Amino acid sequence: MSEEAISPKVQQILLRYQQLQQQLQLIQARKRQLQLELTEIETALKELEKLSDDTPIYKSVGSILIRVDRANVIRDLEDRKEYLNIRLKSLEREEERAQQQLSELEPKIMKALRARG
């Protein structure tokens, strides 16, 4: 089936479908990255809970380690965790929207291809 045999309208629908698939893949990849970071933060918070307040904690800043206050580290990690959860929810909504749009385009593509055959 050559592209010349496909009407411009169907080509447009197919192009939109491909774009949505690529967008969905990017959203899912970003979600996996955020979920991994969230898991790392949760692990760090669990380990910090086991430590006493006077245990020295160091934070990597560039190529050096700086001693930091445990409470500040916990607060920073919890803030980052909250941000990641919000971002994940946003990505989940984007993912659902892309999947819905793909589902709506599929019957149109099938109908157009059947009409040609």
Q: How many domains does the chain have?
A: 1
Q: Measured between alpha carbons, how far is 51 from 57 in angstroms, rounded to an integer?
A: 9
Q: Measured between alpha carbons, how far is 81 from 34 in angstroms, rounded to an integer?
A: 10
Q: Domain range spanning residue 20? A: 3-116
Please state the pTM of the whole predicted model.
Answer: 0.81
Pairing mode, strands 57-61 and 64-68: antiparallel
pLDDT in tens, 33-70: 999 999 999 999 999 999 998 899 999 999 999 999 99
pLDDT band at 117 (very low <50, low <70, confident <90, very high): low
CATH number assigned to the domain comprising residue 81? 1.10.287.370
Contact 25, 94 (CB under 8 A): no
